[in-house]
Amino acid sequence: MKRALFKIMLLVFPSFSVVFMSCTERIDIELDDTYTRLVVEGGITDQPGPQRVVLSLSGNYFENAPPRWVEGARVSISDGENTYLLVEVAPGIYETGPEVIGVPGRTYVLDIGGVVIDGQEQEFTARSTMPRVSAMDSIGLEYREDWEIWQVQLYALDPPSRDFYLFRVYVNDILMSDTIDEYVVASDEFFNGNYTYGIMVQWLDRASVSPGDTVTLEMAAITEEYANFIWELQDQTGFNTPLFSGPPANISSNVQPGAMGFFHASSLTRMKAVID
């Protein structure tokens, strides 16, 4: 929430630049090349499978091409008792069957083998312990005239534990928060054990919904490491200025050794409301 507080400010501060007449312009910059890293995106939830892991390779910054998918890798997830093998269903996309369902409290280990980078075969591993999500009481939808958005509001009681939340929103079962910078991540550091009183946790552009649409709010309990990962990613892909940004830095990863991306275990709950 600390970062969320900060974001409130960032929303507000662009108005300073109005005062000082800032402008932007594309420029050409020569950048060096860098070596290739494995990029992992995936996780396991407490919802019915398939559970999915996507593998790709990093490129040079101005490559401006789709990612290279990692095909033919050996991917498995284990919870200490069972090991589930993931099957490559499309280039770089590895899935379990629908019967694999995560259980809060368990620690999941991702093992990746047979990845060839620059001619060398490498292995990677990651682990994540699934936190337990608390219940929502209800959700609200309220149109906000000046921002031209629908606010998705949450009514829930935060449990006394240290919690990290991830909020995403669907319209008619289609995920609207489909890029990671649209995820809303909050820690309860500043409201531990409190009631949420309909605080805005997601939003929808006016144009993206119409009366009668069903809006689904998804609240996930995530680990602190995953929350940090998303915050760092949002910082590093957001607008930076000499005023409020620290020096750029690589985002963290729980995939060892030296990979990018994250393998996360999370439990989630959903609630629906209809736009009127």
Tokens of 220: 């996930």
Number of chain positions touching another protein (CB under 8 A): 84
Could you tell me the sign of the dihedral formed by the alpha carbons of 112, 114, 117, 123, in that order? positive
55/36 Cα distance (integer angstroms) = 13
- Name the one range near another protein by CB under 8 A: 27-35, 102-110, 202-210, 263-271: 27-35
Measured from the CB of residue 144, what is the shortest distance to another protein in angstroms?
A: 10
62 is a site residue for another protein (CB under 8 A)? yes
242 belongs to the binding site for another protein (CB under 8 A): yes
Is-contact 208 216, C-beta < 8 A?
no
Nearest approach in angstroms of CB 10 to another protein is 11
Using CB under 8 A, which residues numbered 103 to 162 contact another protein?
Answer: 146, 153
Tell me the three state secondary structure of residue 3.
helix
Complex with another protein: residue 58 or 267, whichever CB lies closer: 58
Q: Note the residue count of the chain.
A: 276
Q: Of 190, 214, 258, 274, which one interacts with another protein (CB under 8 A)?
A: 190
Task: Work out how close the CB of 136 gets to another protein at its nearest, in angstroms, rounded to a whole number.
Answer: 14
Q: Does 273 bind another protein (CB under 8 A)?
A: no
Piece of the chain touching another protein by CB under 8 A; list 20-28, 97-105, 117-125, 213-221: 20-28
CB atoms within 10 A of CB 173: 8
Using CB under 8 A as the binding rule, whether residue 181 contacts another protein is answered as: yes
How many angstroms from the chain centroid is the CA of residue 40? 13
State the Cα–Cα distance between residues 61 and 77, nearest whole angstrom: 31
Name which of 11 and 87 has its Cβ closer to another protein: 11
Distance (Å, whole) CA 183 – CA 46: 19
Per CB under 8 A, the list member of 171, 200, 268, 275 interacting with another protein is 200
Binding mask 30-49 vs another protein (x if CB under 8 A, - otherwise)?
A: -xxxxx-x-x-x--------
Cβ-count burial of 159 within 10 angstroms (0-12 exposed, 13-18 middle, 19+ buried)? middle
Out of 109, 171, 260, 268, the residue judged to bind another protein by CB under 8 A:
260
Residue closer to another protein by CB (options 124, 262) is 262
Measuring CA to CA, which residue among 1, 2, 16, 6 is closest to residue 238?
6
- Paired sense of beta strands 214-221 and 164-171, if any: antiparallel
- Residue 225 lies near another protein (rule: CB under 8 A): no
Q: Is the CB of 122 or the CB of 192 nearer to another protein?
A: 192
Rounded Cα distance between 84 and 38, Å, is 21
Kindly state whether residue 207 participates in binding another protein, applying the rule CB under 8 A: no
